[in-house]
């Protein structure tokens, strides 16, 4: 029995040592840092069986405000679409998902574009809504909620080269993270329209585990999801290490007397 168990124990020890070495190497220097809020990093579901606390990264995707992730950009990221012979092109494969890097801008010009687009869509829904059309009113309220309490971290660009992406976006409000890109063929509006290339891009790391002290603060102080007025309850110093992996340096409570930003 011991001979069977020892190799498994050795694998666990080596794996943990490798993970610690990777984390240490990532944190020896930083590529960028942002102070974000609960809007961008919200607490994952907590369990009494698990003492850890994870924060989930939220961002505005390209298709939600200005779809720069078009066929040309997807092709530059190494994805190629081919229609299926003799069959419908919808959903046709564009190769396996690819690794790339995504640029995320916090509370900058891209967020102002998001506000403008969502406000325009909300106002259009309210103009055509009526007492019998509860769907339009509900959709308008959802857009209004996204404007008030939605994440202000917006995807603005992507590349296979992290250094080139940083050079193209030197603003300190922009962080660069590893991402996964997926693509497929889709039919745009209009029966006679040919299929076009569509896709998504999302950071590889979407859940960040807090330190013991940060986890204890969350379990003690956060009983509900948001304050009644929708303002965030805490800010987070989000740091991106030399290997472009994000981690949380610190968490600070936000005074409820401060006006919501």
User: Looking at the chain, how many residues does it have?
Assistant: 261
Check if the beta carbon of residue 202 is closer than 8 Å to that of residue 179: yes
Measured torsion, CA atoms of residues 234, 237, 238, 243, in degrees rounded to the nearest 10? -160
Distance CA 58, CA 194 (A): 33
Per-residue pLDDT of the chain (261 residues; tens, 9 = 90+): 555 544 544 444 434 333 444 444 445 456 789 999 999 998 886 666 666 788 999 999 998 888 899 999 999 999 988 755 555 555 556 888 999 999 999 999 999 999 999 999 999 888 876 655 677 888 888 998 899 889 999 999 999 999 999 999 999 999 999 999 999 888 776 656 678 888 999 999 999 988 877 777 787 776 555 566 678 889 999 999 888 999 999 888 887 544 333
Q: What sign does the CA torsion over 148, 151, 153, 157 have? A: negative
Q: Are strands 41-43 and 196-203 parallel, antiparallel or unpaired?
A: unpaired
3-class DSSP assignment, residue 10: helix
Q: Write down the pLDDT at residue 131.
A: 55
Q: Write down the pLDDT at residue 29.
A: 57
- pTM comes to 0.80
Provide the 8-state DSSP code for 62. G
Q: Write down the pLDDT at residue 12.
A: 41
Distance CA 158, CA 156 (A): 7
Between the alpha carbon of residue 153 and those of residues 37, 62, 187, 257, the distances in Å are 10, 11, 29, 24
Distance CA 35, CA 167 (A): 21
Distance CA 83, CA 99 (A): 23
3-class DSSP assignment, residue 161: coil
């Amino acid at each position: 029995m011991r001979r069977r168990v020892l190799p498994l124990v050795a694998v666990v020890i080596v794996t943990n040592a490798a993970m610690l070495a990777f984390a240490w190497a990532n944190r020896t220097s930083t590529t960028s840092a942002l102070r974000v809020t609960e809007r961008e990093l919200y607490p994952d579901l907590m369990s009494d069986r698990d003492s850890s606390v994870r924060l989930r990264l939220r961002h505005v995707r390209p298709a939600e405000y200005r779809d720069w992730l078009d066929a040309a950009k997807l092709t530059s990221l190494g994805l190629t679409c081919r229609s299926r012979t003799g069959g419908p092109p919808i959903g046709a494969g564009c190769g396996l998902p690819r690794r790339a890097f995504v640029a995320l801008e916090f509370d900058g010009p891209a967020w102002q574009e998001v506000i403008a687009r969502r406000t325009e869509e909300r106002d259009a829904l309210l103009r055509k809504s009526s007492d019998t059309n509860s769907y339009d009113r509900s959709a308008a309220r959802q857009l209004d909620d996204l404007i008030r309490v939605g994440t202000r971290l917006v995807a603005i660009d992507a590349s296979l080269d992290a250094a080139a992406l940083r050079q193209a976006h030197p603003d300190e409000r922009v962080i660069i993270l590893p991402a996964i890109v997926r693509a497929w063929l889709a039919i745009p509006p209009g029966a006679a329209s040919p299929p076009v290339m569509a896709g998504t891009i999302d950071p590889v790391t979407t859940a960040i585990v807090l330190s013991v002290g940060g986890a204890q603060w969350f379990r003690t102080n956060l009983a509900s999801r948001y304050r009644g007025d929708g303002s965030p309850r805490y800010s987070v110093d989000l740091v991106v290490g030399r290997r472009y992996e994000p981690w949380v340096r610190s968490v600070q409570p936000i005074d409820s007397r401060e006006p919501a930003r």
